[in-house]
Amino acid sequence: MAIITVICSGMMGSAITFPAAHNGHTIRLVGSPLDNSIIEHGKKTGEHLTLSLYRKNNDTNGIDAPFVMPGSVSFHYIEEMEDCIKDADLIICGVSSFGMDWFCENVISKLPEKTPLLSISKGMIDDGENKGHLISYPEYMQRFTDKNLRIYAVGGPCTSYELAVQDPTEVVFCGPDMKTLRWLKQLFETDYYHISLSTDVHGVECAVALKNAYALGVALAIGLSYKKEGKALEHYNSQAGLFMQASREMYLLLDAFDSTAERNIFVGLGDLYVTVFGGRNRKLGALLGQGYTYNESMERLPGITMEGIVISNRTAKAVEQLASIGKIDIKDFPLLRHIKELLQDEATVNIPWKEFETEYES
């Protein structure tokens, strides 16, 4: 059996311990400097504070009970991190986009070269060298060390709470070599956690990062429905129209970011679907659709990590840069441009439906 150390005890970092514990492995859950309350509560009760809160506020079955972690999971403060990684067989990076620089600057240098690192963080960042080019987080992490770290990542349609309650899902593990990927698959695969493998790290990770931006965009239709009906009633034509446009723009962006769009778009679209229906970016998109400005919406979502904000802003900037050098036509991205207006300019929702229309001749 393996020893797995997870660094950051947020919802997904904690949820991925469930299939590993199911398979009999030992898991050390290390909180980031912002996770002390989660770790303290876990040490005392064995329960996960934020998963319990999510269950109370969101479970449609009306469950209001503490969320108990598997017995093979132990809780550790950040000060215990170095002891927790010494003899670990695998280390997992569980930070959000907002914690990525902290992880790179404070953790990467302490990791043993021989131990694989598995990232569950989804996002992209400007590579700082090529205008308008975004790179994945595993590629970014590698820049913070001279060691030959083997960095792998998880992508695909999977929300943390539903993984923790063992709802079946399909994900993709990606990384530099297939042998280690197959070993990782053995550690985690269960009858509810199904894993495909890919050595195309850049392509997989770019695809699943984009879904956070576009899930926010599709969810605008949810808020517009609520506003129109005066209650929580959804219409699906408008959601589907936005989903189709989001799919089109994601495909073009994968191509622009030198990813293999034909292969990886499906991973991104699966992730887009689950995020529209069950992700945190849905909440922000729905509030914007109801007529709230970005700042007003964020006041109604205290304490919720919104990955979509980061990736939307980074992608919009990259698109403008790529358009300026003639690599893409900015007119092909009307939904992304409107998302940028909502997030950066305090605009109100006015979906550019006419700009989505196309003509094709075979």
167: domain CATH number? 3.40.50.720
Domain total of the chain: 2
Residue 252 lies in a domain: yes
219: domain CATH number? 1.10.1040.10
Residue 342 lies in a domain: yes
Q: Apex CA 179: angle with CA 176 and CA 184, to 5°?
A: 85
From residue 78, alpha-carbon distances to 32, 153, 155, 200, 354 in Å are 6, 22, 26, 32, 51
Average pLDDT, the chain: 93
Identify the band that residue 327 occupies on the pLDDT scale cut at 50, 70 and 90: very high
Is residue 288 within 8 Å of residue 349, measured between CB atoms? yes
The Cα–Cα gap between 71 and 30 comes to 15
For residues 191 and 229, state if they share a domain: no
Residue 34 lies in a domain: yes
Residue 79 lies in a domain: yes
Q: For residue 39, give its domain range.
A: 3-199
State pLDDT tens for residues 40-66. 999 999 999 999 988 887 766 767 788
State pLDDT tens for residues 282-291. 889 999 999 9
Identify the band that residue 306 occupies on the pLDDT scale cut at 50, 70 and 90: confident
State pLDDT tens for residues 216-248. 999 999 999 999 999 888 899 999 999 999 999
Q: What is the pLDDT of residue 60?
A: 62
For residues 243 and 331, state if they share a domain: yes
**Which of these ranges, 225-229, 266-270, 274-278, has the smallest mean pLDDT?**
274-278
The Cα–Cα gap between 160 and 173 comes to 16
What does pTM read for this prediction? 0.92
